[in-house]
Structure 1
Amino acid sequence: MSGLWIVLLGAGLGLYVATAWWHSRKPLPSGLKVTGPWRDAGDSRLLLDETFLDADGQRHCRQQIVDEWLRLIGQARRLVMIDIFQFNDPADSPPDCHRRVSFELVDALLARKREMPELEIVLITDPINTAYGGHQATHLTELRAAGAQVIITRLSASRDPNPTWNALWRLAIRQWGNTTRNGWLPNPVGPGRATLRSYLAALNLNANHRKTLVVDDGDGWRAIVSSANLDDGSSDYRDLALTLSGSAALDLMASEAGIAGFSGASGLTVPTPPPAAQLSTATPRLRILSEGAIRDALLHTVETAQPGEQLDIETLYLSHRGMIKALLGAHRRGVAIRVLLDPNKAHFGRPSPGIPNRQASRDLHEAGIAVRWSDTRGEQAHGKLLLRSGGNRPATLLAGSANLTRRSLDDLNLELNVQLEATLAHPAIDRARDAFERHWHNTSHEHYSTTYAAHADPSRLRYWRYRAMEASGWCVF
């Protein structure tokens, strides 16, 4: 009997290891790891949400992103396609939120659908908004009742970021599904109750982290690629977005249609993007990038930066070891680098010891790279931006949903960025440079950032804790 148990244990262990290996490396489904063709970017704009303190210490929010979403939805006649990570139920809105952005979006969609009954609304979202199937999201039910196609992303089709847990979940837990009835535990991602199975699914630590909008705009198409979620609790975060139009918007729509397809949507047809035209490198141009293609473009931008050029980074999370090594290499080559980081005071509303930024930034600071902290007061510096400027080449701007982490860059989360190449005079490049300068230096009337010493962490224990979390996937960043 003991021999049989050894055989069974060995077979079970082998199945577990094989499941962990395969689902962390398997081919990606259609719509993911997209490197879009270069498209004309003449009318691309940068939108900013900024929270700052004035000279008297009073807090202010100046916002553009959601307002542009609402404007575009309000004129759509054929199609509104949204892919959004966090989109809370307005019924669960916290009483002290800055702005009820989820209510505004739902109201705008329903109002436009009443005005234009033939309007097709496609909403792709992450299962976090239903507590992974354990919470009844009334706003999603309301949108479905109005005729919108609401698609919950099938994350199991993508790769697993936390394989030691993901394999166990796939083999022994996933088959039990989930239910919105009889939840007895606090909702891990919002108000109300959820089931134990919601917690077990949350430990998979994967996400459709995209934040995009595509709508018809007259006879053409317009899109927004953003770092901003549509949950009320983050409505005062510092965020940014790029607008794009024409063929680039169709490239984005095609990628989103791929996600809808592998998540079980049916009957969804989108226009086919036209073939790419040959564009001069001097022409303002952009392309969409998703998942690992974002990493490739970021690393190429940093690794090919030259002395006399400037690299400016402003991001919520920086922990990807490949990016850190590339930045250290660029610094050694004489590239000027500035890194502005969120101090990571909290993750999903829960206190944090500053992991990963306070630990990862040590490698940069000790090498002599300039690092500052966003001086947050309850909000997060949630934008994700890398800008290369100076020298004799056109500037490069990379912005969107992807943090500079393993989950965001190594084909694990679903992410969407835009890469824009243009001269310094292009409005989006000029605005990105101006925003970074204001955030870095502050002004007499707008305070955004503070010194590295304000949140420096000398703990070796927390440093290696960050390294272990990043490598294993047992982390929310």
Structure 2
Amino acid sequence: MVRKKKKPWSKRKRIVVGSLCAFAVVYIAVMLWHTYKPLPEGVSFKGDIHNTDSVEMITDLTYAQDQEGTGMVHENHIFEEVYNMIEEAEDFVVVDFFLVDGYYDEKEDFPKIADTLSSTLAQKKIDHPDMPIVFITDPLNKGYGSFESKWFKKMREAGVEIVYTDLDPLRDSTPVYSGIYRTFFQWFDFGGEGWIANAMASEAPKMTVASYLTLLNVKANHRKAVVTEKEAMVTSSNPHDASGFHGNIALKVTGPILNDILKSEEAVSLFSGGPKLPRVDTKESNGQYQVQYLTEKKILDALLEDLAATKKGDKIWLGMFFVAKRDIVNALIDAANRGVEVNMILDPNENSFGQEKSGLPNRPVVQEMVEDTKGKLNIRWYNTVIGQYHTKAIWIQSDEHTIISSGSSNYTERTLDDYNLENNLKVVAPNDSELVIQMETYFERLWNNEDAMYTVELEEFQDGFTWWQRWIYTLQKFTKVTTY
């Protein structure tokens, strides 16, 4: 039998195959480089440990008197304290907030946080024209170049220095898309005014194609901090009106740690084309609290070390919006299995600004954690009648002390693997200190529904868990195509 000779590839076919191979090589190279490239100087920051006698916990809570949502109560304190800090500043004000927006479609009378904050800062600059006032923020707040919001325009015209974070030097957390974006889309400026509806709200300024292509990279300066020469606050809350009824926690500190926060914020300002930031003339003290400023992956490193050190009889309280970071999930499972009391209050991921959500990532993660601990791990869902349980705090107590870590960072890869910009305060406190008693009172109040319906049983939302949620969650983990 005579075998037929294969026809040689045509020139056109060779060009097509060669071009596809060349594209694949470039795409993979670009994707790998921007996933693992060196971080800008000052990112992933670990500050020194300082002592202070002043650490204050401030909370926002929205809750109902019953599970049906009647008798809504809003206890909002965080931004009232932010306004006070700005008004009392004498030398400078530095703020860094991810989301500053007053647009929303929901039919709720939300607090006017964006307008109040921008007006307070603008008036401060008008009253004190020589005072440095710097607002570092995410480019989300200018539609990634599509517009200037009225809140930032007000501050800019008053003389406040606005620094939109340059996200390009940061690593890409969605490499499958970002490889294509970096290779092709980033080089094209489609120009013109925005014409595509803004995903934030129907009345928000429209966006361009180029802005949406940038948005799909899903990367951010997600930090939330306020610093003056007197004190600093690190919080989980955004000055976003539709977030005004979220549950959040803030920690306010004084002392030399302020310079660590300013140093870290200055790094972001400088690589984004902004100014150097001032410093505070302050001395170390012998206060009862040990405080440390951590950003990005340094938050994860410290947390894993603290969780690994827990032993039988210790106690962990966790209040969190998103839990998905594999290292932390495993550490919590291991802690529960060796006899640590682990209590978690989680957002059910049921809604986001009026839009129904699928329960990802918390519900499939919770299902796994319950199975792997055989029910040893205790979980309650926050009763989110309005808003979200947006808190990002952990409280680890042993016989020796209590460790608290709280700030902007969810427990996800995007927030803790040196992709987003994030910030937390870590506090080591005596068990009988005012701060520890205050935080324990907070968690016990929510856990036990002491004066309202704050939390509900695990089955309230977990009974609706389906196999496809775990399948989608697994696929998202593998492809890194997520919004959390």
When the two structures are superposed, what TM-score results if normalisation uses the length of structure 2? Answer: 0.92
Match of 1:163 in 2: 175
Q: Distance in 2 between matches of 1:155 and 1:14?
A: 25
State the secondary structure of the residue aligned to 1:243: strand
Runs of 4+ aligned residues of structure 1 deviating over 6 Å after TM superposition are 91-95, 272-277
Match of 1:447 among 449, 453, 457: 453
Match of 2:431 in 1: 424
Do the aligned partners of 1:78 and 1:118 also contact (CA within 8 Å) in 2?
no
Do the aligned partners of 1:38 and 1:276 also contact (CA within 8 Å) in 2?
no
Do the aligned partners of 2:321 and 2:389 also contact (CA within 8 Å) in 1?
yes
Q: Please list the CA deviations of residues 301-341 of structure 1 after superposition, one character each: whole Å capped at 9, or x if unmatched.
A: 21111111001111000111111111111111111101111
Match of 1:235 in 2: 244
Match of 1:225 in 2: 234
- Over 3 Å counting, the alpha-carbon distance change for 1:91 and 1:433 in structure 2 is closer
Match of 2:6 in 1: none
Q: Please list the CA deviations of residues 36-57 of structure 1 after superposition, one character each: whole Å capped at 9, or x if unmatched.
A: 1101131010000011123693
Residue 272 (structure 1) shift: 7.6
State the secondary structure of the residue aligned to 2:144: coil
Do the aligned partners of 2:400 and 2:431 also contact (CA within 8 Å) in 1?
no
Aligned residue-pair number = 465
Match of 2:40 in 1: 29
Q: Distance in 2 between matches of 1:193 and 1:333?
A: 53
Q: Distance in 1 between matches of 2:93 and 2:244?
A: 22
Match of 1:63 among 76, 82, 91: 76
State the secondary structure of the residue aligned to 1:24: helix
Match of 2:85 among 65, 72, 76: 72
Q: Please list the CA deviations of residues 258-302 of structure 1 after superposition, one character each: whole Å capped at 9, or x if unmatched.
A: 00111111x42432888989x7xx942010110001111111121
Amino acid at match of 1:118: D
State the secondary structure of the residue aligned to 1:467: helix
Q: Distance in 2 between matches of 1:319 and 1:258?
A: 28
Indicate yes or no: 2:463 matched with 1:460.
Answer: no
Match of 2:319 in 1: 314
Task: Pick the structure with greater CA Rg.
Answer: 2
Q: Distance in 1 between matches of 2:109 and 2:417?
A: 33
Match of 1:16 in 2: 27
Amino acid at match of 2:343: R
Q: Distance in 2 between matches of 1:365 and 1:209?
A: 30
Do the aligned partners of 1:23 and 1:160 also contact (CA within 8 Å) in 2?
yes
Indicate yes or no: 2:211 matched with 1:198.
Answer: yes
Do the aligned partners of 1:254 and 1:272 also contact (CA within 8 Å) in 2?
no
Q: Distance in 2 between matches of 1:295 and 1:335?
A: 20
Residue 93 (structure 1) shift: 8.7
Q: Distance in 1 between matches of 2:305 and 2:160?
A: 40
Counting only pairs closer than 5 Å after superposition, residues 275-424 of structure 1 correspond to structure 2 as 283-347=288-352, 349-366=354-371, 367=373, 368=375, 369-389=377-397, 391-424=398-431
Do the aligned partners of 2:353 and 2:387 also contact (CA within 8 Å) in 1?
no
State the secondary structure of the residue aligned to 2:405: strand
Residue segments in structure 2 that go unaligned for 5+ positions in a row: 1-10
Amino acid at match of 1:33: S
Q: Distance in 1 between matches of 2:278 and 2:221?
A: 20
Q: Distance in 1 between matches of 2:163 and 2:455?
A: 39
- Over 3 Å counting, the alpha-carbon distance change for 1:76 and 1:312 in structure 2 is same
Q: Distance in 1 between matches of 2:221 and 2:281?
A: 23
Residue 67 (structure 1) shift: 0.6
Counting only pairs closer than 5 Å after superposition, residues 244-259 of structure 1 correspond to structure 2 as 244-259=253-268
When the two structures are superposed, what TM-score results if normalisation uses the length of structure 1? Answer: 0.93
Amino acid at match of 1:182: E
- Sequence identity of aligned pairs in percent? 27
Residue 435 (structure 1) shift: 0.7
- Over 3 Å counting, the alpha-carbon distance change for 1:394 and 1:340 in structure 2 is same
Amino acid at match of 2:405: L
State the secondary structure of the residue aligned to 2:318: strand
Match of 1:149 in 2: 161
Residue segments in structure 1 that go unaligned for 5+ positions in a row: none
Q: Distance in 1 between matches of 2:318 and 2:235?
A: 16
